Amino acid sequence: MKSERGYLKVILTDRGTRRQESRHPWVYDNEISGTDEGIVDGDLADVMSGGGKYIGTGFYNSNSKIRVRIISRNANDQFNQAFWERRVGYALDYRQTVMKSDDDLKCSRIIFGEADEFPGLTVDRFNDILVAQVLSLGIEVRKEMIFDAIMNVFRSRGEELLGIYERNDVAIRGLEGLKEYKGYYVKKGQAAPAKTVTSIVENGVRYKVDVENGQKTGFFLDQKYNREAVSRIARGKNVLDCFTHTGSFALNAAKGGAKHVHAVDVSQTAVDMAKENAVLNGLDGIMSFEAADVFDLLPEIKKGEYDMIILDPPAFTKSRKTKSNAERGYKEINYRAMKALPRGGYLATCSCSHFMDEESFIKMLDSAAKDAGVRLKQIEKRQQSPDHPILLNVSETDYLKFFIMQVF
C-alpha cells in the first residue's frame, strides 16, 4: 500500500530502525523486514519503522546491497526539478564559502555524493567542463532532471559551461545493475562537444586535464591544499615524489622553491603528462622524471640522496578483506622512505582508502619507524580538501589521511 505521500513503502527491522537513529543515508538489504509489492528498481520509496514512523525517502534498488539510498527526511519535500536545483545551489554556496580562490572554484568537486545529499553522484568541475560519475540507479533514471538542474544553476549565476562529460567507465556500476560507458551527456538531437582536454590552475600551478582518458574524472582534486602544504616544506630541498601521476605534488614542491624534484610513476603515460605540465609551468629546469616501480626504486636510494620524500600511492585496499595486505604495502614504502631519509629529513605520506582508517595508518607508521630505527615528529595531520566534505555520521566520506613528518 502506498504511503500518504504516494510512494510505496519499505519497512525496517528493529535493528535497521535503530541504525537510522544516526541518520545514515544507506539502508542495507538485511535491515529490511518487508516491502510493498510493485516497487520498481530506481523508484522513490518511503522508509518506515516497523511501528509505522516515517524515516525518510530514497532510491530503491533490489540489485544492490544498499537497498535504499535516502535523499530526504522531510515528509513535505517534492522531488521535482526545483528540489534538485535547490540542492545544487546549496552545494555551490558551500564551495564558494570554503574554497580559497576563484581558481579553486574552477577546479573543485561540486557534488560529493552523500555528503551533498546526491547519493551515488560525483561531479567535478575542470574550468569549462563538468565531469560526472553516476554510481546509483536512482540518479541514473533522473539524470536528465538532475543534469539540467546543475547547468541551470550555473547559468543563473552567469556561467555558461561547455557540458557534462560522463565517466561512467567503472566496474562498481555493476553493483547497481548499470552498464559502463563514457562520453558527453547530450539530449536527443544535440551534438556532443568535441573538446575533452581543458586546463586548470590549482595553487598557482597550471595543468592540462584530459577528462576522457585521465584517472577517474581526469584529475585528483582532493589533495589540493595538501599539495600547498608540501610546497612550503619543500623549499631549498632535494625532493623525491613517488606515485607522481601527472606531477601534482612534484610541481607544487618545485613551485615552492625546491632545489630539485625527481618525480616517479610506474605509468609512462602519466610521466609524459607530468613532463608536459612541468614545461607548461616553466619548472622543467629543476625537475626530472622516471617511469619506474616505486617498490623497486625505494630500496635502491642512497641515504641522504633526498631531503624530502612524498608518498601518494593509489588505494592499496578497496575492501576490508584486503586491508592486511594493504597495510604491508603501506609499511614497505614508508619503511623504505624512512631508511633513505637523513636525520632531519621530511616525509609526506598518505592513504586514500576509506578502509585504511586513521588509527591503523598511524599504527603502521609507528611500526615502520621502529623497524627503520627512527622517530617521527608530526608537523601536520590533514585530510581531503573541503570540497570533499566529511559527514561525521557517514564514515565512508572520511577517507584521506595525510601526514607531514620529520624523521630523526
Tell me the per-residue pLDDT of 180-190, one tens digit each, with 9 for 90 and over.
999 999 998 89
- Check whether residue 182 and residue 276 sit in a common domain: no
pLDDT at 362 over 90: yes
- Check whether residue 279 and residue 396 sit in a common domain: yes
Cell of residue 309, nine digits: 620524500
> Is residue 4 in some structural domain?
no
> Is residue 3 in some structural domain?
no
Tell me the per-residue pLDDT of 291-315, one tens digit each, with 9 for 90 and over.
999 999 999 999 999 999 999 998 8
From 94-108, 169-183, 306-320, 350-364, the region with the lowest mean pLDDT: 306-320
- Check whether residue 85 and residue 68 sit in a common domain: no
- Check whether residue 381 and residue 232 sit in a common domain: yes
Per the structure, the complete domain to which residue 116 belongs is given by 81-195
pLDDT of res. 314: 87
pLDDT of res. 150: 98
- Check whether residue 297 and residue 396 sit in a common domain: yes
- Check whether residue 262 and residue 351 sit in a common domain: yes
pLDDT of res. 2: 66
* Total count of domains within the chain: 3
Instruction: Check: CB of residue 388 under 8 Å from CB of residue 222.
Output: yes
**Ramachandran angles phi, psi of 5, nearest 5°:** -85, -5
Nearest to 235 by CA among 222, 254, 251: 254
Mean pLDDT (whole number) for 65-79: 97
User: CATH no. for residue 44?
Assistant: 2.30.130.10
Tell me the per-residue pLDDT of 382-401, one tens digit each, with 9 for 90 and over.
999 999 999 999 999 999 99
Model pTM score: 0.93
> Is residue 201 in some structural domain?
no
**Domain endpoint, select from 31, 48, 72:** 72
User: CATH no. for residue 384?
Assistant: 3.40.50.150
**Domain endpoint, select from 72, 89, 117:** 72
- Check whether residue 236 and residue 344 sit in a common domain: yes
pLDDT at 355 over 90: no
CA–CA distance, 361 with 376 (Å, rounded to integer): 14
> Is residue 13 in some structural domain?
yes
- Indicate the pLDDT class of residue 79, thresholds 50, 70 and 90: very high
pLDDT of res. 325: 82
DSSP 13: -
> Is residue 55 in some structural domain?
yes
pLDDT of res. 1: 63
Cell of residue 218, nine digits: 581526469
User: CATH no. for residue 182?
Assistant: 3.30.750.80
**Domain endpoint, select from 72, 97, 120:** 72
- Indicate the pLDDT class of residue 48, thresholds 50, 70 and 90: very high
- Indicate the pLDDT class of residue 4, thresholds 50, 70 and 90: low
pLDDT of res. 160: 94
pLDDT at 129 over 80: yes
Tell me the per-residue pLDDT of 196-228, one tens digit each, with 9 for 90 and over.
999 999 999 999 999 999 888 999 999 999 999
How many residues comprise the chain?
408
CA–CA distance, 41 with 360 (Å, rounded to integer): 38
> Is residue 336 in some structural domain?
yes
> Is residue 210 in some structural domain?
no
> Which member of 107, 242, 350, 352 is catalytic?
352
Q: Where do runs of H (alpha helix) occur along 342-381?
A: 358-372
- Check whether residue 269 and residue 181 sit in a common domain: no
Signed CA dihedral, 308, 314, 315, 317: sign only: negative
- Check whether residue 229 and residue 299 sit in a common domain: yes
Instruction: Check: CB of residue 130 under 8 Å from CB of residue 161.
Output: yes
> Is residue 217 in some structural domain?
no
Identify the burial level of 223 via C-beta atoms within 10 angstroms of its C-beta, where 0-12 means exposed, 13-18 middle and 19 or more buried: buried
- Check whether residue 119 and residue 22 sit in a common domain: no
- Check whether residue 122 and residue 49 sit in a common domain: no
Q: Strand 345-351's sheet: what is its strand order?
A: 287-291, 260-265, 238-242, 308-311, 345-351, 401-407, 376-382
Task: Specify whether 352 is catalytic.
Answer: yes
- Indicate the pLDDT class of residue 3, thresholds 50, 70 and 90: low
- Check whether residue 118 and residue 159 sit in a common domain: yes
**Which residue in the block uniquely carries the three cell numbers 576563484?**
102
Tell me the per-residue pLDDT of 9-31, one tens digit each, with 9 for 90 and over.
999 999 999 999 999 999 999 99
Identify the burial level of 197 via C-beta atoms within 10 angstroms of its C-beta, where 0-12 means exposed, 13-18 middle and 19 or more buried: middle
pLDDT of res. 318: 65
Mean pLDDT (whole number) for 337-343: 98
CA–CA distance, 366 with 200 (Å, rounded to integer): 37
Signed CA dihedral, 97, 400, 127, 155: sign only: negative
Sort strands 401-407 and 376-382 into parallel, antiparallel or unpaired: antiparallel
